[in-house]
Amino acid sequence: MMQHLTIVDHPLVQHKLSLMRDQSTPTAVFRQLLREIAHLLAYEVTRGLPMTTKTVETPLQSMEAPVLDGRKLALVSILRAGNGLLDGMLDLIPSARVGFVGLYRDEDTLKPVQYYCKLPGEIDERVVIAVDPMLATGNSSAAAIDLIKKHGAKNIRFLCLLAAPEGVARMKEAHPDVPVVTAALDERLNELGYIVPGLGDAGDRMFGTK
Question: Phi, psi at residue 55, to the nearest 5°?
Answer: -80, 125
Strands 162-163 and 134-135: parallel
Q: How far is the CB of 115 from ligand URA (least distance, A)?
A: 17
46 part of the active site:
no
What is the nearest approach in angstroms of ligand URA to the Cβ of residue 25? 15
Which is nearer to ligand URA, 92 or 174 (by Cβ)?
Answer: 174
Look up 177 and say whether it is catalytic: no
Catalytic residue among 109, 146, 157, 170: 109
Catalytic residue among 6, 25, 105, 146: 105
Least distance (Å) from ligand URA to the CB of residue 132?
9
Closest distance to ligand URA from the beta carbon of 163 (Å)? 10
Q: Is 109 in the active site?
A: yes
* SS3 category, 80: coil
Shorter beta-carbon distance to ligand URA: residue 81 or 103:
81
Residues that bind ligand URA (CB under 6 A): 81, 134, 136, 193-195, 198, 201-203
Which residues make Cβ contacts (< 8 Å) with residue 189, sequence separation at least 6?
136, 137, 164, 166, 167, 195, 196
Whose Cβ is closer to ligand URA: residue 47's or residue 111's? 111
Q: Smaller CB distance to ligand URA: residue 25 or 155?
A: 25
Cβ-based neighbour number of residue 96 at 10 Å: 20
105 has catalytic annotation: yes
Rg for the chain, CA atoms, rounded? 18
Sort residue 41 into left (φ over 0), alpha (ψ -120 to 50) or beta.
Answer: alpha
Chain centroid, CA 86 distance in Å: 8
Q: Which residues are catalytic?
A: 105, 109, 201, 204
